[in-house]
Every structure is written in structure tokens, then in C-alpha cells.
Amino acid sequence: MRRLTFPFYVVAFLSEVVWMAIVPLAPTYADRFDLSKVETGVVLAAAGFSTLVVSLPIGVLADRIGTRRLTLAASALVAASSLGQALAFDFWSLLLARVVFGIALGAIWTAGLAWIADAVPDRRGASALGVPVTVAGLGIMTGPVFAGALAGAFGLRTPFLVLAASAAAATLMLARGGGHETSFRHEPLLRTLRVARAHRIVLASCVVMAVIGLTNGGVNLLVPLSLRHDGFSPGGTGLVFSASSSIFVVASIVLTRLGTRVVTLRVIGAAAIVYGATILVLVSGTSSALVVSFMLVRSPAWATLSTLSYPLGALGAERADLGRGAVMGLLNLVWGAASTLGPVIAAGIAQAAGARSSFATLAVLMAVTGVWLSSSGRRDRDELRRAAPSLDAS
């Protein structure tokens, strides 16, 4: 089974490296192609926007035509779009390459996760769905450093040429790794949405994705502003986020090793309550010492919510008799929308009532979500314990 999962994890890692590689190179692209600030922002936002748009349709399509073939196509698109970014010669060619990459990214995190959930046997399903989150964290940490170093030494095109070759090799590994095609489903989209809204586990996984997106979107806006106000340089702020991500990765690894025993509403609800409690530190003040402490202390709870959200969604899909592709697409859609709205809402509250009020709102949101998940978990505890083994055996 490692022949199947390892190449997919490589693809997931490379996709996140490609995602972040554009960030340090954006100013160079802007100078070379004479881009305005708006055009540069559009290029940076293009992949995220296309991922948001295609996630749910791709999830439904994956259930209808097969998750394996869509995953292979998405992996090939990562290679093609990376080559496109390397060979881009103006705003439109670069924008097109980023849009194509966003489509590939959406397919990897919908069809790919659904394929892995269905293909992995015995009691390793939860771990198999948690590992991509861990490797994504590694990719996010690696991408900017990798791209900046290679571009500085060998030129702007080099990072994406290397990534294109690596993604092509990973696609061949994935194709040769085998794995059966998933069974086909033809569930109408409206029925999928109706059942998802009514089923507690699927709904809970969507709520978890929403609060992750809203909270992290707000944190990613407010924390850098607070640190800059306290005299931190961009490099210092980056180190804080990298340290937080490092703890995230370690915690995520631990969670994936624990497997299905932690994929419960009570565990995830407790993590949400802890995350909310850590945000309260910033309600009392936003000095650099408090902000840095918050970023480090919040990481295990953040890792728990992020790592267990997909296994919880897969468990809900099985219990609700829904296609896993559609549910994974729904989760990504919810996360993308919440991540887009999070910074806007946090900025609006901060501008109207101050940063502390914005942090207080995020803390309350997390705490309320955690209480709801925990109370739902108590009612569903016995049923979840019966369902988890069947998830892993699928």
C-alpha cells in the first residue's frame, strides 16, 4: 500500500510548494512583466480562486467518473502548470498557468483524498487522510525558501522548471503505484447538499472547516499587523509563522500515528475550545511577547482541527451514504470561502472596534464551535466507535 500512498503524498507536498513558490517571486514577476499592484494581486489570488470554484464540481465529478483517474490528471496538471509558470512571458500567460494550477490543486484535495480514503485498507484510513495535511505543512514551509534560493542563484524560471520535472516524475510514480478505481456514484448535487446539511457528522466537518478558515484568515491578517506595530521586521514575522508551522507539523505527525481513535467530535471539539482559549491571550493585549506566545501555543490545537477534519468528513460520508469525492469537495469549498471572508471580517471588526475586539470575536467563535462539537460528540460517541472501524476497512 505504500506504493500507492507515498507517491500521492509526494504530489500533495509538491502542490503546496508550487502554491507558495510564487510568493517570494511575485515582485520579480511584477518587475519583469511591468505588472501593476492590482495585476500582481490577481496573479497571487488566481490559484486560490480557481480552487474555490472547482472543488465541489470536481468532487461530484470524481464520484461519477472515478477518483483515481482524476487524481492522475490533477498530478499531470501540476507539472504542466509549473512548466507554464516557468515559461510565462506576460501577465496573461502567468495568470493562465496559476488558474490551471488552482484547478489541479482543487482536484488533488478532493478526488485525491477520496481515492486514498477508499483505497487504504484495514485501520489506517484516518492516518492516510491526515498525512496529506502534514506534508502540506511541510510544503508551505519549504516553498518560499526553495523558490527564493533557486531563483536567486539560477534565475526566475528555475524553481518552476524543477517543480515541473518533479511533478512529472511523481505522476509516473503515482500511475505505476496501482490502486483500484473507486466505485461510481451518480448522486444529484442538490441531494448531496441536503443530506450533508442534515447529517450531524458531515455538518460538523463542514463547521470545522469554516472555523479554521475564518479564524486562521483573521490571525494571518491581524498577527503580522500587531507584530509590525511592535517593531518586527518582515523577516522576524516570517520566523514566528515558521516556528508555529513547525509545531503544527510535529503535532500533525503525532495525530496521524494515533489513527482513528482521535477522529471523534469530542476530541475535535476540545481542540476548538483550546484554540479559542489561546486567542483570549490577545484579548488582554497585543504586545509582541503575547502575540509570539499565542502563535506557538495555538499550534497543537490548530493541527488537531486541520488534521482531523478530512478523516471526520470521510467518516461522515460513509455514515450518510454520500460520495467521498463530493464531501471532500464540499469541505474544500467551505474552507476556501471561509478563508476568503476571514481576513475581511477580522479587518472590519478591527477597524470599527480595535484588534482586541476582533480577537475576542474569533475566540468566541472557536469556543462556541467547540462546545457544540463536544456536546454532539457525547450523543454520538457510541455510534462513532462502531463506524470508525468500517471506515478504515473500506
Confidence of residue 125 (pLDDT cuts 50, 70, 90): low
Residue 377 or 180, more confident: 377
Give start-end residues of each CATH 1.20.1250.20 domain in the chain: 2-176, 189-393
Q: 317 near 67, Cβ under 8 Å?
A: no
Check residue 393 and give its pLDDT. Answer: 41
Class of domain 189-393: mainly alpha
Q: How confident is the model at residue 326 (pLDDT cuts 50, 70, 90)?
A: confident
Q: Which residue has the higher pLDDT, 195 or 38?
A: 38
- Provide the b/e sequence for 150-176 (b: ≥16 CB within 10 Å): bbeeeebbbbbbbbbebbbebbebbee
Please give the backbone phi and psi of residue 227, each rounded to the nearest 5 degrees, phi first.
Answer: -70, -40
pLDDT, tens only, 160-202? 999 999 999 999 999 887 666 555 555 666 666 777 777 888 8
- H-only helix segments in 232-287: 234-258, 265-283
pTM value is 0.77
Judge contact between 152 and 27, C-beta under 8 A.
no
Q: Is it the case that residue 65 has pLDDT exceeding 90? A: no
CB-hemisphere CA count at 13 Å for 380? 24
pLDDT in tens, 252-302: 889 888 877 888 899 999 999 999 999 999 998 888 899 999 999 999 999
Checking if the pLDDT of 390 tops 50, the result is no
Instruction: Say how far apart CA 100 and CA 108 lie, in whole Å.
Output: 13
Least confident of 122-126, 165-169, 329-333, 349-353: 122-126
First-to-last alpha carbon distance for the chain, in angstroms, is 14
pLDDT score for 192: 67
Are the C-beta atoms of residues 389 and 124 closer than 8 Å to each other? Answer: no
Query: Alpha-carbon distance 22 to 31, whole Å?
Result: 14
**CATH number for the domain running over 2-176:** 1.20.1250.20
Most confident option among 29-33, 64-68, 225-229, 275-279: 275-279
